[in-house]
Each structure stands twice: as C-alpha cells, then as structure tokens.
Structure 1
C-alpha cells in the first residue's frame, strides 16, 4: 500500500524556498518540484541518489494479424539490441545526464538467451492477439506485476531514489489507447494516434480495429483491463510504479504508453499521483487527454513521441536543478541581502 505523503514539512519547505535570494515564486515550477521532492522524502534537504531509467520491452500479438503499426514486430528485437549497443536516443540522453539505464525483456518475441547487459524477465514471447482473445492469462498478469515490483526493490536496495520509466514494443500504442479509453471513459477514436507513423487513413483503420477489440472484452477492473489489453511491458511498469511509490521514491513519468501504465496504477492506488513528476507532453494525441484526466502539469512540451523514456531523461536536469537550488542557494540572511518590504 502506498503511504500518503506527510504534510508535516509543507510550511517549513515553503519558508525555505521563499527565503532564498529571489522574489517569492520567481523560480516557478522549480519551486513546485523542490517542495514535492522534499515532501516525498520528508526532509528539508532532499537528495537525488543514483537516478535510473528502466526501459521495459515487449511484443504485442495484435500486430501479427491487424494493421495497427507500419513497422514489423521484428523492430522490437532490433531496438533492444540498439539499446544494448548504446545507439538509441535514451542511451545518449542517459549518458549526457549521468542516469543509470537498464533494459528489461518483459516479453519480446525473440530469444535473448545469454545476451549480456539485458535484464531477463520474459513472461512469454509476446502477448496473444487481443482481437481474438485476452492478451494474457491471469497468471501471466500476476507474474508481470510482481516482476516489476521485484526490479524496483533491486535498484532501491542499490541506492536509487528516483526512477524514470520507458518502454519499447511495436503495437504498444494500441494497448495504451485501449487502456486510456477504459480508465478515462474516452471514446477509442479520441485515444488513437499515429503511433510509429501511421497516416490519417491508417489511424482511422487502427481505430476501427481497436473499437472491435474494446467491444470484444468485458472489463470491470484495472487488473482485468491490463489482462485483456495490456502488454507485458505495460503490466511490468504498472507493478514497478506501485512498488516505487510504496518505497517513497520519486517517479519520472514519460509519454503515452508509460502514462497508460500509470492510469492503471492510479486506479489501483490513488496515492501514487503524489510521487509522480510528469516529464513532458507527448506528440501522441491521446497523451494530453491522459494528463488532463490526472490533473498533471508536465515539465516540457517538445513535440516528442519517441518513447524509450526519452522525455524523462531530457526532463531530469530540471528536476536536478530544483533540488540543487533548494539545498545550495543562499538565503537573504546568509547572503546579507535585503528582503522586500
């Protein structure tokens, strides 16, 4: 169970922020982030320790028989190797910002046996085609959820207290659209976007396919929604998010697919939202609606829609700046600067 954030230090944190050598509120959103992380850690002197981004990779059976992506399923496997070889955007941004990066095989349709550098947690070789049956069994759902929690416990034990989430999986915008439709009660047509690059005609066709999928399954809980529509990577992220908040870590939320996992986690435990910092608004059309549903204010809007946790990595220096000013910036008294009347 996720603990409610302690409010004991709110006034003291606000006072510490207000008496820095600046006009009140002059650092804007940085002040909001500083206060939030102070509240999460229940201290006036929060620290960022071993920042880490987890990229969960998984395949989706729906792409084998339905035109929901312009890319073949093999791209998931190929991108995993690209991550491991350091060639993807997330590698570049993590290296730039000194962020630890772990790539997880949650359920890629490929044999990665003996592949170094990969965290091997494969549930199965991709999900089933949810246009015909549920994406996964109840047992697979439970295993994926618990595996995500286990991964978080491992990095937490190694000193990480802030974690970003990323993903890779051809077809996963379809799963995210279905989950968004269920959790936000939004018509599927308003949830579906271009994904990895569909044209307008392709988006219409994708929406038609997903409308049939949505009507095929009877869903009445977060667990049932994830079992019917989810990818193994999405379920694993959901479990990881729930555990990270339970351990009072700060969560960096990336784009459309990551936020679909958060919608499920939020449905399970509303307290999770107080531990989340939203990195950016994705260029995927449904993401802005997700953020509005969660009453979230993202840090950036750069038109990014890559996934991989790339938005979280790009936004991380802003979070670091917030904690740095709170801890290191002089006060009016210490700097002998006159305060406002």
Structure 2
C-alpha cells in the first residue's frame, strides 16, 4: 500500500490512497475470458457465474481466480441517534448481538460455516456511542481518519475475497442521512424500515435525517466531511476496508444498505473506486436498490433479506465460490477433444 502522504492533515492521507488506487489487471481478465470461452459449455451458458469469475481474475491479477480464503468482516458500532427512538430496538442490542457473533449463534455464523468462510468481528468502541448527528458531528477529522485506517485491518492475515457487514442499532438512519447528503432528494427517499420501524418510530427516523442534514448544511458537500459528520465508526471502517482491499487486489462483496452507503463515500470521491466490488444482494430496505442504481452495481442475489451483519454478502459468497470452482475445475474443449460448435 502506498506510503502515507506527509501533510499532517488526516483526510489528506485518505485522499492520497483514493488517488493512487491500482487499476484492473486487464491481461489477467483476458486470460480468464479466454478460458471461459474454452470451457465445456456453450458460450455464456453459466450466465452471471462467468462474469463473476472474470471479475475476480481481473482484480486478483491472475487468470485463475481463487476463493480459498474468503473472509467476512463485520464492523459493530453504537450511535447516539439511537436515543432518539429511531429504531424499535434499544441501542444495547448492538453489544448483545456482538456477543452472539462471538458465541457463534448469529445467522452470519451459520452462513460462514456453510461456505467455509472466516469471520472477523470488529468492536468499534461499543461503550462510547457517537454523538447525536442532529446536534454534533459523529467524529472529528482525526478520529474519522483513524477509524478508516482501523478498517483497513480487515484484510490483515490474508484473504482472497472480502465480504463486508455491519451491526449497529440506528445505523440505517445514519446510512439514510449519508445518502441524503451525497445524493440529495428528500429524506423520505432514503429512509426505510431498518429493523422494523413503522408509525411514530419511522416518523422520528425521517425527522432525524432532516434535522441532521439541516444542522450540518453545506459542509456535507465534501464526501469525507459527510462521512465524519453524519456517519459512524462502522461506516468509516467499512470505507477503509474497501480501500485497503483495492490496494491489495482483494475483490469485495458488499452487504446491505449500510455497507453500500459506506462504499458510496468512496464512489463520490472517485467513480472508479468500487470497480473491484460486487453487490452481494439487494435488501428489502427500499433505499438500497435506489443506491445500487446510483452506483451502477448489479446485485448477485435478491432474497428479500434485511438482516445486515454481512448475511447477504456471505450468502453471495457461495455463488462466488461456485463461479470460481467452475472456472478452475471444468474441462475445456481443447483438453477433452470435444468438438466445439461448427
């Protein structure tokens, strides 16, 4: 990864990493594409699986892609906005769910086990919620940059595919505020049910997003400023993980609305910043599909999921592993002496 930019300004280091992102390895992609054309099947018969295999090859920089060391990283944080009653669940649930992850009792644990994927859970100061974003910035610049850097540890120890998830009561409100800051429109365009917000709870959620945008005003025009002001620790860390994966040539699978909102910050800085990413699924959170359209990301799956915790990305990992297995393990017309079409 490139050396830090010695300016002394925390966000300048992040901007430098975005500016120096490596491009795709087109030669590796061409090798993978040629192999796909020779596999024992009609051209295009495996549909999206072929595209996924070529995508992995292009970003891993090798004609034979791998998914032998997949890692699911879940970032957990707490939010002061949760005290505004924007979720039917209290903020204490975040820490309780982290305990469930640790004990192997959550959905993501079972999905990781099914697909032989590693799971790392990052506790981002759960006992210290960020301030209420309607009244203060979630983070100062130094803390936000440090949290982005912390998120880069997601690929420490090695991984060939990285799936990203999150946990944090109140963080779909955070995601909605961040998307509203990045893309405009109305608060209602970006606010959804989250963990099941309806009625007065949903009204409070919409009001909180409107208040946050009004409070921070024109400062939100800069993507990193928007991240630090109306984001949260898990959102900043996810952006860091995506950025580190790009520099280390590790393809990324994005989970739901919150993870995709974090990715949108990088996309707002550089439209090519997510070229190494796959959208694992489109969630039932109504604004997630709208956001994927903004980012021009086509989801691998649409299962009506809205759990978070990396569950949708982890299920998509099974599809990715199948794509790689076919690419690597199938015979070719050349090897088998089978006649290709006339």
Using structure 1 for the length normalisation, give the TM-score: 0.91
Question: Does the 8 A contact of 2:21 with 2:247 survive in 1?
Answer: yes
User: Which residue is equivalent to 1:338?
Assistant: 339
TM-aligned CA distance change 1:153 to 1:84, over 3 Å: closer
Aligned residues: 321
Task: Give the deviation of 1:200 after TM superposition.
Answer: 4.2
1:144 aligns with 2:143: no
Instruction: Specify the SS of the correspondent of 2:26.
Output: coil
- Structure 1 gap ranges (5+): 110-124
1:45 aligns with 2:47: no
Task: Give the deviation of 1:201 after TM superposition.
Answer: 4.4
Task: Give the deviation of 1:40 after TM superposition.
Answer: 0.8
Following superposition of structure 1 onto structure 2, how do residues 172-211 of structure 1 map, counting pairs within 5 Å? 172-211=171-210
1:128 aligns with 2:131: yes
CA deviation digits over 1:75-99, x for unaligned, max 9?
Answer: 0111111111111001111111111
1 CA distance for matches of 2:183 and 2:34?
Answer: 37
Instruction: Specify the SS of the correspondent of 1:217.
Output: helix
Instruction: Specify the SS of the correspondent of 1:3.
Output: coil
Question: Does the 8 A contact of 1:2 with 1:271 survive in 2?
Answer: no
TM-aligned CA distance change 1:11 to 1:81, over 3 Å: closer
User: Which residue is equivalent to 1:326?
Assistant: 327
1 CA distance for matches of 2:208 and 2:231?
Answer: 16
Task: Give the deviation of 1:8 after TM superposition.
Answer: 2.4
Following superposition of structure 1 onto structure 2, how do residues 89-238 of structure 1 map, counting pairs within 5 Å? 89-109=107-127, 125-149=128-152, 151-154=153-156, 158-218=157-217, 219-238=220-239
Question: Does the 8 A contact of 2:280 with 2:301 survive in 1?
Answer: yes
Q: CA RMSD in A?
A: 1.4
User: Which residue is equivalent to 2:86?
Assistant: 68
Q: Structure 1 residue runs of 4+, over 4 Å off?
A: none
Instruction: Specify the SS of the correspondent of 1:30.
Output: helix
- Structure 2 gap ranges (5+): 1-19
